[in-house]
Structures are given as structure tokens and as C-alpha cells.
Amino acid sequence: MSKRVYWLWLTTRDDLGAETIRKLTTSFGTPEFLYGATREQLMQTGLKPRQINALCDKDLSRAEDILRVCEQKKIQIITIEDSAYPDRLREIADPPAVLYVRGTLPDFDRAPGVTIVGTRSCSAYGLRMAERFGAALAKAGFTVISGMARGIDTAAHRGCLKADGTTVAVLAGGVDLCYPPENKYLMGDIMLAGAVISENPPGTPNEGFRFPIRNRIMSGLAAATLIVEAPLHSGALISARQAFEQGREVFAVPGPLDVPNSAGCNRLIRDECARLVTGPMDIVDALAPMLRQKPNAGAVRTAFLRDDRKDSMWDDTPVRPYQVIQRRKQPEAAPLEPLKIPDLPIVPEPEPPKTAQPRIPEGLSGCERAVAEAIAAGADTVDAVSEATGLPASEVAAALVLLELDGIAQHKGGRCSLCGNLNF
């Protein structure tokens, strides 16, 4: 029997996240040994009862069905122990054990990846920057990685394709499902110039909670992540945090201070979580040692500027000097008398108010509210929240992502907490 069957069996077990699967395969050596493990052996690993029950289900029919579908649809299956698996992705704390691939997965050692992400509801400026950075980085010899979502992602893929570059789309659902539907032709072009990949088997729907989880793959594949345009509560900022925690470079395109869609990028730059970029050469120069050949700076700048410089911030039109305006001389005013300030009584400084426990807002789903209430009660890790709520760790992680996007909770350094500035 194919070894891949056991990998597929393992990755389709409920309640097992990517980090848990990595620990199990490290402990048991191979998925075959894990498949043959008894309940008594599994109980010694510290797994929860429901996880042990999932691993005691030895039914291989679902794995065999996935193999059959992948063969019919020409979907390649790459496991974490295969030589074709990207080395940089293998280094993260929670790498996907299996990748489903349509197209040709590029050699990330020869053409390092740069992930470009941002908001779906972007401005014309954001679209322009994403497309131009995608084209310029492709000309420099990088693989452009994004998520094929509406807005910034789509523009980054198109820019790379226009420059005849290599691009990879990381999907939240199955690689046999195009999302969004209007990107059907773009998806075909991506598969011709690169690959479409996912950690989820064919037929997996594009449910909302899957998108933030897949972001770790986009940042994990890349040597750097570029945030083009993102509001304060954006999935792109989660990608930036994940890239930062993975030890990857993070760059951000600045934007107008009075535009909400640029607030996330500007804050990343202010907090020194991302490096400010004024053009593609800022990224190329920082990552140049990873490239096999020295990039042509002129070709990179040309791809970024293109021919439509009239609306570009890099317009070559000479700037007309300011005219000096002569002002009429005003009559001298009479000197002012010094202001007399009466003595004021000394008022004691009020005591600082006691910090109140953040109030959990209304309108949350049952799972999100349960997770928020568990954190408020003192549970500060995913496992602790899972124990307190009885929810699987995967559902807790997904709920945490949604709470983080809403500014209700945060998950940093493995610790969960409610945000202290909730005003509802």
C-alpha cells in the first residue's frame, strides 16, 4: 500500500492540528508506525481523549478516496518527507504535513519567494502598488506568492504574470475549487506559470475560518512578506505577525494617514514590525544574497514604473520652484502688558481609576463567546481554553483568529488574552 495513504489518513483525523501532527510523527518516526499504535501507546503521548479516539479509527477509506480523486484530477500530493517539499516551509513550527499541488511547484532555492498580501477592499493606489511590486519582484528573480483573493492578492498575481514571472497561489479550500469564482482564468494562468497549492484535500469548501490558518503557509514559503494595503483589523496583519514570528523579513508600503485602509501598514512601520519600502529595490537589496544571479536594477525599476508615469509617485516631470511672495509691511503693534495670573488653590491629584475587566461584546457566535469567556476566566493557552470549553484545539484556534481580527482577543507568544481597550 502507498505510504501516502497513511499521511492522508493522519491529516484527515479530526482534532489534530499541524503542530500536533508534527510532534506525533517526530515521536513515532513515520505515519505507518503511528497508524499501528495501540490505544495504550497513544495514551502515553499526552493527547486528549478525543484525539486518541480519532487516531484509534483505522479506517483508510477516506484516504483512498482522496488518492483516487487526485489521480483523476491530476493533483500532485507532496508530503513533508518528500524531497520536493519546500525546505523553508518545513522549518516553521506548524508546517502542513501534506501539500496538494496543481501546476509545477517552483524551486524556492533558485527563486526565493516573496509573499504579497493586503485587503480585499483596496483602493486604486493599493491595486497599482500590488501589481507593480509583483511585476518588479518577478523581474528580479523572485517567486511571487499570494492567496488569489480579491483585491491586492489578485493584482500581485497579475503583475507577476505580466512580467513573465513565476507565481504561487495558496488556497484555503481544495485546489480543485476556484475562489473567488471570477478568478477562473487567473487560476489557469497561475497553474501554467507556477502552481496552486493547499493543505486541504480536493473538495474542501472555502470556509471563512480556513483563510487565516492558511496564511502561515504563505509566509512560511517566502523569504519575506510585503503588506501593500491593510486596515487595522485585517487578515494581512496576521500574515505579517506570522512572518515576524517565523523569523522572516516583513515590509510594508506606506499610505495616506487619513485613509483607514493604510492604517495597518503605517502602524507596522511605526512599531518597527515592518520595514518601510519606497520601491522594489528596497526589497531586492535586502534579499539579494538569496538570489543565484545579481538582478538587473534597471529592469526591476522599469517593471515597477512601466510607461504610465503620469499617475506615478515617481513622475520624472521637473518640479516648478516655489515663488517668493512679498508681504506688505504691517504697522508695529503696541507692546503687550504682562499677563497677571492669580494664585490658584492646590488641588490634590485624583487617584487613577481601577482597571476594569474588558467586557465581552454581544453578537458573538457560540464558539467565539465560549473562547472569550474562557480567556476572561484565566485560560491563557489554546490547550487551557480547549479544556475549559470542551472545544477541539482546531476550533479554538480558528475562533481566536476571528476574535483577533475583531480586536477582542490576541494570541501572542503562545499566550491568549483579551484586548484591554474594548469599547462596546
pLDDT tens sequence across 95-131: 999 999 999 999 998 899 999 999 999 999 999 999 9
pLDDT score for 307: 46
Q: Enumerate residues 6+ apart whose C-beta is below 8 A from 221.
A: 86, 88, 89, 108, 113, 115, 145, 168, 170
pLDDT score for 305: 87
pLDDT score for 40: 93
Average pLDDT, stretch 266-281?
94
pLDDT score for 331: 54
List of domains in the chain: 1-72 (no CATH), 102-308 (3.40.50.450), 366-418 (1.10.10.10)
Share of the chain above pLDDT 90, in %: 60
pLDDT score for 3: 86
**Torsion angle of C-alpha atoms 376, 377, 378, 383, degrees rounded to 10:** -90
Longest CA–CA separation in the chain, Å: 101
pLDDT score for 397: 78
**Torsion angle of C-alpha atoms 129, 127, 209, 237, degrees rounded to 10:** 30
Q: Would you call 20 helix, strand, or coil by DSSP?
A: helix
Say which residue the cell 518640479 belongs to: 319
Residue 194 CB coordination number (10 Å)? 24
H/E run at residue 284 = helix 280-287
Classify strands 195-198 and 224-227 as parallel, antiparallel or unpaired.
unpaired
Q: Is the pLDDT reported for residue 208 higher than 60? A: yes
Report the Cα 415 to chain-centroid distance in Å: 19
Specify the higher pLDDT residue, 382 or 23. 23
pLDDT score for 356: 52
Is the separation of the CB atoms in 270 and 245 below 8 Å? no
Q: Enumerate residues 6+ apart whose C-beta is below 8 A from 313.
A: none
List, in sequence order, every residue forming a beta bridge with 103; answer none if it has no partner: 195
Give the start-end residues of each E strand in 118-234: 143-146, 167-170, 195-198, 224-227
∠ CA 157-159-160, nearest 5°, is 65
Whole-model pTM: value is: 0.75
CA–CA separation, 324 and 328 (whole Å):
13
Question: By mean pLDDT, which of 5-19, 241-255, 348-362 is the weakest?
Answer: 348-362
Burial environment of residue 34 by CB neighbours within 10 A (0 to 12, 13 to 18, 19 or more): buried
For 334-374, write each residue's pLDDT tens digit.
555 554 545 545 445 455 455 455 667 766 777 788 888 88
Residue 423 CB coordination number (10 Å)? 7
Average pLDDT, stretch 180-201?
96
Cis preceding linkage at 335, omega within 30: no
Burial environment of residue 263 by CB neighbours within 10 A (0 to 12, 13 to 18, 19 or more): buried
Q: Enumerate residues 6+ apart whose C-beta is below 8 A from 215.
A: 117, 147, 235, 238, 239, 242
CA–CA separation, 322 and 334 (whole Å):
34
Q: Would you call 228 helix, strand, or coil by DSSP?
A: coil
Q: Is the pLDDT reported for residue 319 higher than 60? A: no
For 27-67, write each residue's pLDDT tens digit.
998 999 999 999 999 999 889 999 999 999 999 999 999 99
Extract the C-alpha cell encoding 347: 488641588
Intra-chain end-to-end CA distance of the chain, in Å: 57
CA–CA separation, 243 and 176 (whole Å):
27
Q: Would you call 185 helix, strand, or coil by DSSP?
A: helix
Is the separation of the CB atoms in 294 and 281 below 8 Å? no
Nearest to 218 by CA among 203, 199, 192, 234: 199
Confidence category of residue 315, pLDDT binned at 50, 70, 90: very low
pLDDT score for 332: 58
List, in sequence order, every residue forming a beta bridge with 196; answer none if it has no partner: 102, 169
